[in-house]
Structure 1
Amino acid sequence: MTRTALVVIDVQKGIFAGKQTSPRWPEILERIGALAARAAAAGLPVIYVQHDGGPGHRLEVGGEGWQLDPVLARTPPSAVCRKTACDAFFETPLQAELNRRGVKQLLVAGCMSQFCVDTTCRRAVSLGYDVVLVGDAHATADSGALVADQIIAHLNDTLDGFEAGSAAVTVRSAAGLPLEAWAGE
């Protein structure tokens, strides 16, 4: 039995404050919100990961930017895990939460592609979870070398097929995810 959970990383009001992001961000954000709603309706656990920034950080704990984006308010989470590093497993209750629910496969969406999304996907595989990176449901900001859409495309290409032991990452679009079938497993 492969129990699946959706993990939504750092979709917070201030995630892109002062940064240039993909012009597709509003569309991606809506897709993440719709994916969370579909997953919950299918009976899958939906876990929001929230970054705790320090004083003066755009995601400073308790500040306006730290709050989860209102698109997520439409779908109450099964759990919220707070983190202070790119790795959503590092010193957080995420793995214990997944184990408690018998989860073996993660659907991953959220922000920032080349930091928290990438690190969490790789760590999850190293911990033995199969990962489906929702390739059209993660976003980032421009860097000095690449624009956001290039970073997203690069991450999708780089992680598709990444493996450790018997666990691997596959990249799929949100529309093609068989959430109802996974809920029945």
Structure 2
Amino acid sequence: MSDRGTRTFRQIDAEPYSFPFDGHWSSADTALLLLGFQQGTIFALSATPAFTTALDLLSVALDRGLFVAASRCVARRDGDDVVPAEGSGGWDFPPQLILPDSALVVDHPGDNAFYRTPLEAELKARGIRNLLIAGLPTDGLVHATQRTANDMGFECLAVADACQGTSETRHAAQLRITTFGNGLFGTVASAAAAKVALTEI
């Protein structure tokens, strides 16, 4: 994380409204969520382009002092404990995804990074109210997590090209649902638009 103190940013050019809605965001109140970027999922969805875009955005976010949280979808045995999917090395992050010691990593069953994890509590304890969201798949983990975050009072932006769906049609449809009703579940922008807002003085 950058040690240059709190930074404020201009709004991100997004659809259907500029992010965040109130126009005010900073490195102190914003987090980047990286959802489901696991080796097996990236391979299954041929999602290397989205993963590469997310890595580039991660680099910028860390340089600008944003908090980072990452999630892994894991299997559930009988009982309450979540565990890595047995017999598969694809559950973990790829080696290219290098997270700082300050990052939060949560393991969760199913398609919601808030379900039975400390994610909400950890974000709110840090004063986070704005979320930039990247992940796999758009029509699953990304959308379910964003909808939950929206209900919890977080201002959410899905970074379209740092996400990928189980098909291009489903990816596009899920992003349309996100913006339905003038941003019912948040807003959507490209990684380039987010980077411009993060890096322009």
- In structure 1, runs of 5+ residues without a counterpart are 142-147
Instruction: Please name the residue that 1:174 is paired with.
Output: 191
State how 1:1-185 maps to structure 2 within 5 Å.
2=25, 3-16=29-42, 19=44, 21=45, 25-54=47-76, 60=85, 63-73=88-98, 75-76=99-100, 78-141=103-166, 148-160=167-179, 161-163=182-184, 168-177=185-194, 178-180=197-199
Q: How many residues align?
A: 164
Cα shift at 1:62? 8.4
Residue equivalent to 1:145: none
Q: Which segments of 5 or more consecutive residues in structure 2 lack a partner in the other structure?
A: 1-23, 78-83
Letter in 2 for 1:109: A
Compute the RMSD of aligned alpha carbons: 2.2
Identity %: 29
Q: TM-score, normalised by structure 1?
A: 0.80
Superposed CA deviations along residues 35-76 of structure 1, whole A, max 9, x for unmatched, are: 111111110001111111247xxx616841111122312x43
Choose 1 or 2 for highest CA Rg. Answer: 2
Give the Å deviation of 1:82. 1.2
Output the CA distance in 2 between the equivalents of 1:50 and 1:115. 13
Provide TM-score, normalisation by structure 2. Answer: 0.74
Tell me, yes or no, if the aligned pair for 1:86 and 1:115 is still in contact at 8 Å.
Answer: yes
